[in-house]
Every structure is written in C-alpha cells, then in structure tokens.
Amino acid sequence: MALPGRLDGALSPRASLQGTENKNMGLLSLAIWLPIVCGAVLLALGRDSNAGVVRWLALAAALLSFLVTIPLITGFDTGTAALQFQENLAWIERFNVRYHLGVDGISVWFVLLTAFITVIVVIAGWEVITDRVHQYMGAFLILSGIMVGVFSAVDGLLFYVFFEATLIPMYIVIGVWGGPRRVYAAFKFFLYTLAGSLLMLVALVYLYYKSGGSFSLLDWHRLPLPMSAQALLFFAFFAAFAVKVPMWPVHTWLPDAHVEAPTGGSVVLAAIMLKLGAYGFLRFSMPIAPDAAREYAWLIIALSLIAVVYIGLVALVQQDMKKLVAYSSIAHMGFVTLGFFVFSELGVSGGLVQMISHGFVSGAMFLCIGVLYDRVHSREIASYGGVVNTMPKFTAFAVFFAMANCGLPGTAGFVGEWMVILGAVKYDFWIGLLAASSLVFGAAYTLWMVKRVYFGAVANDDVKALQDIGAREFLMLAVLAIAVLWMGLLPKPFTDVMHVSVTELLKHVAVSKLN
C-alpha cells in the first residue's frame, strides 16, 4: 500500500531525516545497552559477591550511562522536529521489523531523566539494601536501559517490546524487596499494566497490515484511516497508556505498588514509569488517530479533571505518607493529560515540563519518606512530629520539596502546572478555573503532612533519637534540590528543546486523516 504525501508531525517523514544519522555515534544504543549489560554482569556475580564491590560497580555503571546521555542534549539541534541521533538497522527482516532508534524534542529529556534518576536510586540504596545487593542493583540498571529504549524506539514492535519489558524488573523489585503485602502489590501492578497493553498489541498488528507491512511510526503517522478505525485505535492505545499514567479510574494499582515497593522502586515508579503512558499518548494516540483524539478529547479532559480534583481530596485523608504522595502523583499526572488534550502549545509543553518536574519532585518526596522510614520503620504520619528539632538539615530539604510539590513559584513544580492552566483557560475558561482551583487541594494535603511530621514539639522517643542525614543522603537530596531550582528558575532550556517538536505535533493533529 502506497502511503500519501507528507503530513507534518511529531516524527517527520523519512525524507526529511537525511543527514541526521551521521552524528549519532551509537549514543542511544549505548544509553540502552550499557546499563542492561552492566546489570546482567552484576546478576551473574551471585549472592556470594562482595556487597561493597557490587555497589561501586553499580554506581560506576549508572554514572557512565548518564554521561553517555549528556551529548544527546549538548549536540541536540533545537531548530528541527526531525529525529536525531538515529540508528536504523534490520532486526526481524521477514516481518520488516527494524531496530530503529531516534529522539526528538519530545523524548530526549526523558532519556536524560531516566539515566539521572538511576544514579540517584543507586546512591539511595547504598546502605539500606543489604540482602541480594547484586540483584537489586542489577534490576535497576536493566530497568534503566529498558526505559531509555521506550523513549528512543521508532519502530512500533520495538517500542512494544521495551514497553512490556519494563514490567519484569519492577515486578521483581516490588516482589522481593517490598513490604509485607509485596506479592499482592506486585501481581496487581503486573496484571493491570499487562492487561491494558494487550489491546495495544492488537492495534499495532492492525496498523502493520494497514500500512502494507510496516512497523515504522513514521509510516503510521502518515497513514489515512477512517473515523471508525481511528476510534478503535485511540481506545486501544488508551487502554494501555491510561493504566500506565495512571488515570482515574484505573489508578488503584499505584498506591498499593508505592506503599509496598522499596524506596528506590517508588522513586523510579513515580519519576519515570508513570511517564511512559503519557509519552505514549503523544507518540501514538494523537498523531496516529488525530481525528479521534480531537473527537474524544472531552473524555480525557473529564478524566484528567476528576484525577486532579477527586484524587486531591482522597490524598487529604491519607494517614500513610507514601500513600499521600502516591495519590499526589496521580493528581499531578492529571495535569499532564489535561495539558495534552487542550491541543495548544502551552498545554502540551506544560504537560511535558510537568512530567520532567514531577520526576524530580516526586522522586525527592519518596526519598525523604525513605530517609524517615529507614530510621523509624514507619510511614504513618502519626508516628512523627517535630522532626525539625532533631533533623534540621533534612527538614530543610523535605520542606523545600514539599513546597515544590505544592507548585511554589521558583520551583520546578510551578512551571508546568502554570503552563497547563494557561493552556486550559485558553481552551475553556471553566476548565482552566477548575484545574487552577484544585491547586488548593495540593497545598492542603502537602502542608498538612509537613505540619504534622516536621514541625511542633518532638512527639515521641523515636523522633527524639533521630540523627540528621549524613553525606550520602545530603548529596542525593542536594542534587535533586539543584535540579528543582534550576528548572523552576530557568525553564527556557527545557522548553526550547521541545518547542519545534510540539509545534509540529500540533500541526499534525490539526490535519484530518480521514480517507
């Protein structure tokens, strides 16, 4: 089947990509396979391996994997929406499946964010994880490479393989190093996300045959489709991506997974894995089925507003700090999907900025809870009180991240939400007003937790015995604090990178593909 002429899109057609492959230097493959291979090596060391050596090897691998991703930004051309740093090789030739990688302004920041968070997670588990250290560090390194693969894949089947493969390491992390109900939480996480993805696989197979035997996203973005087919494809993709975000009402797996997961698992789950679903909306749902995306935008907006408002109210009554921050993540991701489906540059860019900032802020929030849990072995808000009296340095970080979670101006948490609200007001004043008013709930549940945990008189002997953070914990929190401040005070480098790609995506979605 011959494909029609060019439609401007998030991924420009192949003809416009000439010359971009020469500068790739295999960076994306290195970013994917370096942590995977290093993780496999750590797994092969066995339980008898020296835990100290394993930790240093894991840190070296994580740092090297992060350094590999830096040239993706320093060498990124912000003036084009074309894919950059491409690698395009035959994989399964019989079915025209290709090992096709590339990043644009929408995806490149998430590659860096994934590698950066992996370094933080390795440092966070340095002293806390004492059992099966090689497996713990190996699982996170492998997961890091797989998630980079999701953000880099330009072949539909390759994307699906990476997308589903993320379940395995996270399932193991929750199931082995999690809390008392870890097996239940791990199964619920696995089944929810796997069930949603099965419909996506059906959609990919349909698009393969409809496009004349191609799994290329570039081809699928230009493929004309009737409205009935677009609607079915849109909801098939929705089933996979909505669960991953997660959107209301398929969000119930997330609080359980967060509560039972170890601190590192919660950090990666909130900072990166939730972003895979939102990224899928931009890469699949909107450009492949633009008419259906515009037709059913009201549904996504409604579900997003429910997440922002209702889930915010649910967070207000939580007694467990991890559950409170988990529900907070659902509310913040509601802002992301709201921004995407108001179809404005402010909204989509704001959603992307919110995804990145949420990676920093939510990761930091879970690390702070982990610091307290490691000392007191309780996540209940009632177990604390007056922490500032015994841990002043830690409290300074914790309160700063809580303020960022509220959307305090000058922090990363403010920029994305403000852009989404502006985009929503432009789309419909009342939608924007409802989204803006929900910020009150975010401030309420966050400040309520901060007041009861950190301020006031010392509540009990456990709090009285607390010792302030050491150099390792100070380092990981300080690095995240710098990132939150940098993005809050100087968001332009982030928005400049994504600007042209977002503009092209919106142009593409505005053009009908009905045949």
Cα 324 to Cα 318, 381, 392: the distances in Å are 6, 10, 23
- CB burial class (10 A; 0-12, 13-18, 19+) of residue 351? buried
Q: How confident is the model at residue 111 (pLDDT cuts 50, 70, 90)?
A: very high
- Beta partners for 155? 216
The angle subtended at Cα 318 by Cα 462 and Cα 350, nearest 5°, is 115
Q: How confident is the model at residue 124 (pLDDT cuts 50, 70, 90)?
A: confident
Domain positions in the chain are 299-501
* pLDDT tens, position by position, 28-38: 999 999 999 99
* pLDDT tens, position by position, 313-358: 888 888 888 888 888 888 888 888 999 998 888 889 999 999 999 8
* pLDDT tens, position by position, 3-26: 433 333 445 443 333 334 445 568
3-state secondary structure of 85: strand
Residue 10 confidence (pLDDT): 44
Length of the chain, in residues: 515
**Using CA atoms in the order 322, 326, 331, 334, what is the torsion angle rounded to 10 degrees?**
160
* Structural contact between residues 170 and 143, judged by C-beta atoms closer than 8 angstroms: yes
Residue 442: what are its φ and ψ, rounded to 5°? -60, -45
Most confident of 21-25, 122-126, 482-486: 482-486
CA–CA distance, 73 with 314 (Å, rounded to integer): 39
* pLDDT tens, position by position, 135-153: 889 999 999 999 999 999 9
Q: Is the preceding peptide bond at 4 cis, omega within 30 degrees of 0?
A: no
Cα 86 to Cα 30, 99, 169, 254, 283: the distances in Å are 12, 10, 27, 34, 16
Say whether pLDDT at 486 is over 70: yes
* Structural contact between residues 313 and 445, judged by C-beta atoms closer than 8 angstroms: no
Asked whether the CA dihedral 178, 182, 186, 192 is positive or negative, the reply is negative
Say whether pLDDT at 110 is over 90: yes
